[in-house]
C-alpha cells in the first residue's frame, strides 16, 4: 500500500481525521473584496466525505472566487476555510496537500507533454521513484490519457486538456477535490466520462464542482448551493431544490386531438390550481399545476380514463431546476 508514503508527504492524513461522515471542508464566513467590489459575501458551508457539492450561480456570482479562496490561491479579506483540519489561511501548504484542484479552463504548461507534466506534479507533491510511477500510471488510467502521453499539451484537443487537468488533480489521491467547471467545453460523450469518473470517486472524497449546467447537478451532485452576488441563496439536495419549482409534481398531458372540454374538466379537479395550454414539438396539451405541490397524478389519470380522451402523452414533472435557478438568482439580484 502506498498509504505510508502518502502520509509522509502529508497527503492522506485526513483519512484518520475522524469518522466517515466528518466534515472535510469547512468554510467559515468567507469574504473577499476586490477593491470596493464584494465578490464573496459571508459564505459558510460544510462538505462531508461522500458528498458532491454542486456550486451553481450566474457568471460573476462568486463561484470561482470562492474556490480560489478554499484552495488558497487567493487570501480572503476575512473568514477562512478548513480543509481536513488544516486552516488555509494559517497553514496554506498543509491545506493544499489535501486538495486536488482543477482551475477554470484547466490550465497546464502547454509546452510540456502530459507525461512530463504529471512527473512534475508528482515530484512537487513529494512522490519519487516507484511510488511516483504508480500514482502517475493510476492517474493516466483514470483519465484515459494513454494515447497522448508524448504529445505537447498545446496540441491536444480541449477534451484531452481537461483530462490532463483532472489527472493532475487526482495524482495524489486527495481527500478533497475542487473542480471548477470540469465539463465546460466537452462534447456529450466526454461530459459523460467525466461525470462517471466523479461518481466513481465520490464515496471516498469530498468534492465541490462548479457548473452552470443544471443537468450536471442531477447527474453527479448530492447537494447544490446556489450563489448569487457572492451570497448563498439556496442550499439543498437537487430534489429539494426542484421541489421549490412551481412545476414540482405538475402533470404534463398531451392529447392526440383537442376535445375542447379538457381544460375546464381538469381545472375542476380539487387538487388542481391551474391549467396552462402547451403547444410544442410533442403536440398540444396542458401543463396541470397542483395545489401546494401535492401529487395529482392519480386524480388526473382517473379523469382521463373516465373521459376517454385520446391521450398521446402523460408525464409527471419533478420540477425544473433551471426555473428555480432563475427565480432565486434574479430575486437575489433585484
Partner 1 sequence: MRSTWVIFRRELASYFATPLAYVFIVIFLALAGALAFFLGNFFDRGQADLQPFFGFHPWLYLVLIPALAMRLWAEERKTGTIELFLTLPISIGAAVLGKFLASWAFAGIALVLTFPFWITVNVLGSPDNGVILASYIGSFLMAGAFLAIGSALSALTKNQVIAFVLTAAVCFLFTVSGSNIVLGFFTDWAPHALLAALMSFSFLTHFSAIVRGVIDLRDAVFFLSLIALFLYANTVIVELKKAD
Residues 126-155 that bind partner 1 (CB under 8 A): 126, 152
Nearest distance in Å: CB 132, partner 1: 11
Nearest to partner 1 of 121, 148 (CB atom): 121
Q: Does residue 125 belong to the site contacting partner 1 (CB under 8 A)?
A: yes
Nearest to partner 1 of 25, 288 (CB atom): 25
Do residues 153 and 108 lie in contact, with contact meaning Cβ atoms separated by under 8 Å? yes
Residues 50-109 that bind partner 1 (CB under 8 A): 68, 71-74, 93-94, 96-97, 99, 101, 103-105, 107-109
Tell me the torsion sign for CA atoms 214, 218, 220, 225.
Answer: positive
Angstrom distance (rounded) from CA 211 to CA 325: 12
**Binding segment (CB under 8 A) for partner 1, from list 114-122, 190-198, 200-208, 310-318:** 114-122
Binding mask 159-188 for partner 1 (x = CB under 8 A): ------x--x--------------------
Q: Which long-range contacts (CB under 8 A, 24 or more apart) does 321-327 make?
A: 321/214, 321/217, 321/218, 321/238, 321/241, 321/242, 321/245, 322/214, 323/245, 323/246, 323/247, 324/234, 324/241, 324/242, 324/244, 324/245, 325/56, 325/214, 325/226, 327/244
Q: Does residue 116 belong to the site contacting partner 1 (CB under 8 A)?
A: yes
Q: Does residue 123 belong to the site contacting partner 1 (CB under 8 A)?
A: yes
Q: Does residue 121 belong to the site contacting partner 1 (CB under 8 A)?
A: yes
Nearest to partner 1 of 1, 124 (CB atom): 124
Q: Does residue 8 belong to the site contacting partner 1 (CB under 8 A)?
A: no
Residue 16 exposed, middle or buried by CB count within 10 Å (0-12, 13-18, 19+):
exposed
Residue 108 Cα to chain centre, angstroms = 22
Q: Can you give the binding site for partner 1, defined by CB under 8 A?
A: 10, 68, 71-74, 93-94, 96-97, 99, 101, 103-105, 107-112, 116, 120-121, 123-126, 152, 165, 168
Amino acid at each position: 500500500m502506498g498509504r505510508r508514503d502518502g502520509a509522509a508527504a502529508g497527503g492522506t492524513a485526513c483519512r484518520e481525521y475522524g469518522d466517515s461522515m466528518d466534515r472535510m471542508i469547512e468554510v467559515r464566513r468567507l469574504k473577499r473584496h476586490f477593491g470596493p467590489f464584494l465578490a464573496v459575501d459571508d459564505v459558510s458551508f460544510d462538505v462531508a466525505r461522500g458528498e458532491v457539492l454542486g456550486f451553481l450561480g450566474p457568471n460573476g456570482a462568486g463561484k470561482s472566487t470562492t474556490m480560489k479562496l478554499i484552495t488558497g490561491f487567493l487570501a480572503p479579506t476575512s473568514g477562512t476555510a478548513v480543509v481536513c483540519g488544516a486552516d488555509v489561511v494559517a497553514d496554506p501548504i498543509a491545506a493544499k496537500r489535501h486538495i486536488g484542484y482543477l482551475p477554470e479552463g484547466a490550465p497546464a504548461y502547454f509546452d510540456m507533454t502530459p507525461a512530463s507534466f504529471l512527473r512534475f506534479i508528482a515530484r512537487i507533491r513529494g512522490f519519487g521513484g516507484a511510488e511516483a510511477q504508480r500514482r502517475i500510471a493510476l492517474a493516466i488510467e483514470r483519465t484515459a490519457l494513454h494515447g497522448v502521453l508524448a504529445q505537447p499539451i498545446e496540441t491536444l484537443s480541449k477534451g484531452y486538456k481537461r483530462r490532463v487537468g483532472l489527472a493532475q488533480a487526482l495524482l495524489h489521491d486527495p481527500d478533497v477535490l475542487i473542480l471548477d467547471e470540469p465539463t465546460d467545453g466537452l462534447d456529450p460523450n466526454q461530459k459523460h466520462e467525466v461525470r462517471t469518473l466523479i461518481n466513481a470517486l465520490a464515496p471516498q472524497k469530498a468534492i465541490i464542482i462548479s457548473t452552470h449546467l443544471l443537468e450536471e447537478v442531477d447527474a453527479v451532485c448530492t447537494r447544490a448551493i446556489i450563489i448569487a452576488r457572492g451570497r448563498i441563496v439556496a442550499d439543498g439536495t437537487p430534489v429539494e431544490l426542484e421541489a421549490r419549482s412551481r412545476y414540482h409534481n405538475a402533470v404534463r398531458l398531451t392529447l392526440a386531438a383537442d376535445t375542447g372540454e379538457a381544460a375546464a374538466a381538469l381545472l375542476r379537479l380539487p387538487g388542481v390550481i391551474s391549467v396552462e395550454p402547451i403547444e410544442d414539438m410533442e403536440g398540444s396539451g396542458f401543463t396541470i399545476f397542483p395545489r401546494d405541490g401535492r401529487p395529482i397524478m392519480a386524480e388526473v389519470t382517473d379523469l382521463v380514463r373516465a373521459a376517454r380522451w385520446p391521450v398521446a402523452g402523460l408525464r409527471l414533472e419533478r420540477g425544473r431546476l433551471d426555473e428555480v435557478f432563475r427565480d432565486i438568482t434574479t430575486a437575489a439580484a433585484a
